[in-house]
Amino acid sequence: MTGFLAVQAITKQWAHTVTVGPISLDIARGEIVALLGPSGSGKTTMLRLLAGFETADSGRIVVDGEDVTAAPPARRRFGMVFQHYALFPHLDVGENVGFGLTGSRERGAAAAKVAEALALVDLAGFERRKVHELSGGQQQRVALARALAPEPRVLLLDEPLSNLDPALRERTRRELRQLIQRVAITTVFVTHEQEEAFDLGDRVAVLNAGRLEQAGVADELYEHPASLFVASFVGRANVFHGAAARALGGRDGQLVVARPERLRFAASGLAGVVRERRYTGPAAFYLVESGDGARFEVMAEPGAARVGDPVHVTASSLLTFPDGAP
Amino acid sequence: MSRRAAELTALALTLLLAWIVLYPILIVATDAADASALRAFVSRPGEWAALWASIWISLASVALAAAIGIPLAFLFEWFEFPGRKTLGSLVALPVVLPPLVGVIAFLFLYGESGFIARAVQALLGLERAPWRLQGPGAILLVHAYSMYVYFYLFTRAGLARLDVSMLEAAQALGAGRRATLRRVVLPLVRPALVGAAILTFMTALGSFSAPYIFGGGFRVMTTQIVATKLNGDLPLAMVETLALALVAIVGLVLLRRTEGDAILVALGKGTAPRPRPIRRRGIRLAAAAAGWGLAVVLLLPHLTLGLVSLVPYGAWTTEIIPPVLNFENYRRLFSEAERLRPLLNSVWMAAVSTAAAVILALLAGWLIVRRRVAVRRAIEGLLALPWALPGTVFAIALATTFSVNAPARLRLVLVGTAVILPLAYLVRALPLAGRGLLAAYRQMDPALEEAAASLGAGRWRTVTRVTLPQLKPGLAAGASLAFVAALGDIVASIVLYTYETRPIAIEILSSLRLSETGVAAAFGVVLMVVSALVLGVGARR
């Protein structure tokens, strides 16, 4: 089975050392996929390969049955929202949004399209505004309207929320999700924030060092990470080796990953001392130091322990991986 | 365009630039290796005197320009007084005077038969003019007047980039006003000061008009070279040209060393200190009066030029103020075909050379910044090279290279044709256009072009609708500077002109020689007005 947008064994080599891929990923029509990874993981390269700003060394990109691997960006009909929006400063809002509307379309029809796109992002009547007069959030919405106006086949977003202040970010995220669902457009976006990826993406593809580590829905990544990297990059994770791992129930040669909320204080188990307590309201995070000097976090009731208390810790569920590292 | 095609284009561009910029210099260097010419150069005291004169005149020009320009910059940037804004832009006025025009304006104003000399003569009842405007003093006067603007503009720009919180931090750490100035402000504006010093030094070293008109027996290297060339001693002219080029390069390298870290300035991101009102009434009035007095002094040359241009031929003899004023000179200038020709010559040659420089710079900017071609450093270096060497060096180099017919060695006879002057102007225009466009290209967010492409715009639409509008300020600034420089050029013209292609500057010189001061002044006014208009358009955003 191949999806609406199929990435097939795509690779791109940078200089001599850095390589992205081979990466394969199938994306269904209307699906929202997040590319999640640390900086340098290749997620932005992946997005630029999709947009056509970079050309792949090998592999194919197929959209709706059409091979676009070698097609220039102008022919792909992919809409892109840039990290810093890349609004044309010498054009006004209307001219920016109308930039992609050329060809046989009549003037009046184009103007109607612009108005429609601006209404979609809640900026109706902003046509004659100057770009630099807009707030960051408005600029982001203009960029979105501009990308959507030519009715692209795929929408690409590069760190769509990174330029907004935190208070605005959560609201914008919600609005963005609703908007994408209303337009029902296949969307790929890049982010380095797990919360953003989970919240906005139907599926999340985790990239690391140019490789696709795992692609799946949020629960799957969190509960069944395919690798130690995914386990520790997605959500909070404590990693235990050797004796500490065995004390929590791991076998020889395994390392154990346990999330803070899956650890609890008990009468027996891994012994340690509470070093710090961080109160977050509904719960508290306790930084525990075990006998071999390892430090890990336990999430528990705010009154479960005090700093300096000797404690024992057990795990309600564990993730285990082969212990390659010493 | 594929990677390979871009690299090939870059290679072709490099070769073209090397052919017109580097090759002629190499030919001068080869031709200068002539034993008898070298011996003549070393043994003649006149040569050493001219070389030394070039060096000390340039250094003194830097010192004078700094002494005038830096305090003015602080005054206008840091203090509020009546008329600050208007005066602040008036102070930059000498910039619109092309070098030769400034020189003749000084001649009409302060020269033996100029207004000031006549007035003093009449006032004191002297029989002869009270002074002669000649020799190194006169040259330095003109240099100081025309070059302090570099220090003024650079220092103001440097001060405007300062972050007021840095000054406040220094004060909070206990530094007094003087300590703040010495330990924070000056180090931060140092790159700007050094930039101005380099520009002043290079301009003064290459200066030709002032020493040519006011030098008399006092020779600097530029006038010495042209005199030797006119005498027909070509091998010696080559040695002199090489010597001047070496002085320029050594001077540039030494000055660059003092430049310091330009990153320092980029670090500050806050707002610049606001101008402080001068509290004490007396000082405030004195500052305003001094400012307006200065403006008058600065404007006098322009006004003089305008006045002299209205004096018909032979109408002004011994009076202090000319008795007859009319537009006769302008009428002749625009109605007599032989008078109009230099004007048209200058305009078309400047336009063609500027257009060519802009096209080459656009191509270079795209190859260097967007495609990051392998030879990008070579291209950038070749574009900048003509700036590092005095105009006379290039004039002599082009005259030598393109007066020989040897196609196998890429040498053609272009001297004497209509091609050679535009080519010389083009060489001089390359650094101006190149610098403006490269800076604009580097400032431009590459995502803008990508955004256009992803919205379905083809290459042509992307270039015309997105790239060029974005590059416009840098392009306009570079092109207007290049055009004005070519329009008023004398350095290259005096070596390479023919009667048919003679430009304005040459016509001004021959008018002066025929004592047609009014016509010369009228040419000067036209040149000044066109330059000011073009620079004004170029600076508009």
Q: Is the pLDDT of residue B373 over 70?
A: yes
Most confidently modeled range among B57-66, B105-114, B271-280, B508-517:
B57-66
Residues A219, A250 within the same domain: no
Higher pLDDT, A188 or B176: A188
Residue B316 domain-assigned?
no
- C-beta separation of B51 from B205 below 8 A: no
Place of tokens 């002669």: B132
Question: B43-98 pLDDT, tens per residue?
Answer: 888 899 999 999 999 999 999 999 999 988 988 888 888 888 888 888 888 877 88
Task: Please compute, for residue A266, the number of CA atoms within 13 A of its CA located in the half-sphere on the CB side.
Answer: 12
B32: amino acid identity, one letter: A
- Considering the domain architecture, whether residues B301 and B337 belong to the same structural domain is answered as no
The verdict on a CB contact (< 8 Å) between A102 and B452 is no
The number of distinct structural domains making up chain A is: 2
> Is there a single domain that holds both residue B498 and residue B412?
yes
**Does residue B264 have a pLDDT over 60?**
no
**What pLDDT, on a 0 to 100 scale, did the predictor assign at position B1?**
64
pLDDT tops 90 at residue B17:
yes
Torsion (CA) A217, A220, A221, A222 in degrees, nearest 10: 120
| Phi, psi (degrees; rounded to nearest 5) at A325 | -75, 155
Q: In this predicted structure, what is the pLDDT of residue B220?
A: 93
Task: Tokens 């569920």: give the residue.
Answer: A317
Question: Both tokens of residue A7?
Answer: 């990435």
Exposure b/e, A103-129, CB count within 10 A at least 16 = b: eeeeeeebeebbbebbebbebeebbeb
Mean pLDDT, chain A, rounded, equals: 87
Looking at A184, A216, A232, the residue that finishes a domain is A232
Size of interface A-B (CB pairs under 8 A): 65
Q: How confident is the model at residue A106 (pLDDT cuts 50, 70, 90)?
A: low
Domain boundary among A232, A262, A282: A232
- Assess whether the previous peptide bond of B342 is cis (omega < 30° from 0): no
Strand A78-81 with A154-158, pairing: parallel
**CA nearest to A75 within chain B:** B456
Q: Is A113 on the interface with B (CB under 8 A)?
A: no
pLDDT at B259: 67
Question: The domain that contains A196 carries what CATH number?
Answer: 3.40.50.300
| Residues B101-130: tens digit of each pLDDT | 999 999 998 888 888 888 888 888 888 878
Res. A205: pLDDT tops 90: yes
- Residue A16's H or E segment, with its range, is none
Question: Are residues B29 and B75 located together in one domain of the fold?
Answer: no
Which chain A residue has the Cα nearest residue B2?
Answer: A55
Angle of CA points B519, B523, B524, to nearest 5°: 115
Measured between its terminal Cα atoms, the distance across chain A in Å is 41
All residues at 6 or more sequence positions from B230 whose CB lies less than 8 Å from its CB, including other chains? none
Residues of B in contact with A76 (CB under 8 A): 454
Q: How far is A210 from chain B (nearest CA, A)?
A: 22
- Whether B276 and B375 map to the same domain: the answer is no
DSSP B114: S
Q: Do B216 and B342 sit in the same domain of this protein?
A: no
* Residue A147 pLDDT > 50: yes
**How distant is the alpha carbon of residue B15 from its chain centre?**
27
3 state SS of A256: strand
Cα–Cα–Cα angle for B227, B230, B232, rounded to 5 degrees:
115
Question: Is residue B41 situated within a structural domain?
Answer: no
CA-CA distances (angstroms) from residue B270 to A274, A305, B161, B392, B435?
Answer: 45, 47, 8, 44, 26
Q: Looking at the complex, does the CB of residue B337 fall below 8 Å from at least one CB of chain A?
A: no
My answer on whether B89 and B123 are in the same domain is yes
The pLDDT tens digits for B311-359 are: 888 777 777 778 888 888 899 888 888 889 999 999 999 999 999 999 9
Q: A228 and A240 in one domain?
A: no
Of B253, B283, B308, the one marking the end of a domain is B308
Q: Pick the last residue of a domain from B308, B335, B352.
A: B308
Give the mean pLDDT of B269-296.
Answer: 79
Show residues of chain A in contact with B472, CB under 8 Å.
90
What residues make up the domain containing B425? Answer: 1-33+324-541
pLDDT digits (tens, 9 = 90+) for A181-201: 898 999 999 998 888 899 899
What per-residue confidence (pLDDT) applies to B171?
A: 73
Question: What pLDDT was estimated at residue A1?
Answer: 47
Instruction: Tell me, letter by letter, the H, E, C secondary structure of B34-74.
Output: CHHHHHHHHHCHHHHHHHHHHHHHHHHHHHHHHHHHHHHHH
Statement: residue B196 has pLDDT above 50: yes
Closest alpha carbon within chain B to A78: B454
Higher pLDDT pick, B257 / B204: B204
CB contact under 8 A, A73 and B469: no
The number of helices, as runs of H, and strands, as runs of E, in chain A is 10, 18
In this structure, are A163 and A220 located in the same domain?
yes
Check CB contact of A3 with chain B, cutoff 8 Å: no
In angstroms, the CA B73 to CA B157 distance is 9
Per-residue burial over B165-194, b = 16 or more CB atoms within 10 Å of its CB, e = otherwise: ebbeebeeeebeeeebeeebbeebbbbbbb
For residue A249, give how far its alpha carbon lies from the nearest alpha carbon of chain B (Å). Answer: 52
Chain B CA closest to residue A96: B452
Among A232, A253, A278, the domain boundary falls at A232
Give the closest-approach CA distance of B447 to chain A in angstroms.
6
Query: In Å, how far are A70, A260, A317, A324, B322 from A240, measured between CA atoms?
Result: 47, 12, 14, 13, 100
Quick one: what percent of chain A has pLDDT higher than 90?
26
B404 and B278, same structural domain? no
Given A83, A90, A99, which is nearest B452 (Cβ)? A99
Structure tokens at A197: 């990826």
Q: How far is A182 from chain B (nearest CA, A)?
A: 21
Please name the residues between 451 and 470 in chain B that touch chain A, using a CB distance below 8 Å: 451-458, 461, 465-466, 469-470
| Residue B454 scores a pLDDT above 50 | yes
Q: In terms of domains, do A195 and A284 share one?
A: no
Whether residues A109 and A23 fall in one domain: yes
Q: Which of A281-295, B161-175, B382-396, B475-489 has the lowest mean pLDDT?
A: B161-175
| Pair (A18, A144) in one structural domain | yes
Query: How many beta carbons lie within 10 A of that of residue B163, not counting itself?
Result: 17
Best residue in A88, A95, A154 for a mutation probing chain B (most B CBs within 10 Å): A88
A149 and A274 share one domain:
no
Long-range contacts of A241-248 (CB under 8 A, 24+ apart): A241/A294, A241/A323, A241/A325, A242/A292, A243/A292, A244/A270, A244/A290, A244/A292, A244/A294, A245/A323, A247/A271, A248/A313, A248/A314, A248/A315, A248/A318
- The CATH number given to whatever domain includes residue A303 is 2.40.50.140
Please tell me the predicted confidence (pLDDT) of residue A105: 59
Contact B82, B518 (CB under 8 A): no
Structure confidence at residue B265 as a pLDDT band (50, 70, 90): very low
Looking at A242-251, A304-313, B141-150, B258-267, which range is the least confident one?
B258-267
The answer to whether residue B124 sits within a structural domain is: yes
Q: Out of B187-196, B205-214, B349-358, B520-529, which region has the weakest mean confidence (pLDDT)?
A: B187-196
Domain assignment present for B38: no
By percentage, how much of chain B surpasses pLDDT 90?
44
Q: How far apart are CA A322 and CA A226, in angstroms?
A: 12
Judged by a CB distance cut-off of 8 A, whether residue A53 touches chain B is yes
Q: Which band of pLDDT confidence, cut at 50, 70 and 90, is reported for residue A324?
A: low
Overall domain count for chain B? 2
Q: What is the pLDDT of residues A219-272, one digit of tens each?
A: 999 989 998 899 888 888 888 887 888 888 777 778 888 899 898 888 888 888
Residue appearing with tokens 């197929």? A62
Nearest to A102 among B453, B456, B472 (CB): B456
Instruction: Give me the mean pLDDT over the B431-438 stretch.
Output: 90
d(CA B511, CA B502): 13
d(CA B463, CA B470): 10
Question: What pLDDT does B200 receive?
Answer: 94
CATH number of the domain bearing residue B333: 1.10.3720.10
Alpha helices for B366-457 (secondary structure H): 376-388, 391-401, 420-443, 446-454
- Contact in structure between B13 and B19 (CB atoms under 8 Å): no
Q: Do A76 and B470 touch (CB under 8 A)?
A: no
Same domain, B89 and B120: yes
Q: In A, which residues are within 8 Å of B453 by CB distance?
A: 52-53, 72-74
Which residues on B lie below 8 Å from A78 (Cβ)? 454
Same domain (yes/no): A84, A190 = yes
Minimum CA–CA partner of B469 in chain A: A90
B417 and B491 together in one domain? yes
Quick check: B448 and A86 CB within 8 A? Answer: yes
Same domain? B399 vs B252: no
Claim to verify: residue B86 and residue B109 sit in the same structural domain: yes
Which pLDDT does position A71 carry in this prediction? Answer: 87
Question: Between B45-78 and B281-308, two packed helices, what is the crossing angle to 10 degrees?
Answer: 130
Q: What is the mean pLDDT of chain B?
A: 87
Which residues does chain A have within 8 Å of residue B447's beta carbon, measured at their own beta carbons? Answer: 82-84, 86
Mean pLDDT of B414-423: 90
Domain that holds residue A97: 5-232
Q: Domain check: are A309 and A177 in the same one?
A: no
Report the candidate in A188, A178, A143 with the shortest Cα–Cα distance to residue A164. Answer: A143
Alpha-helix runs per DSSP H in B324-419: 328-335, 337-365, 376-388, 391-401
B386 and B278, same domain (yes or no): no
Which one of B251, B283, B308 terminates a domain? B308
CB contacts, 8 Å: A82 with chain B? 447, 450-451
Asked if residue B257 is part of any domain, the answer here is yes
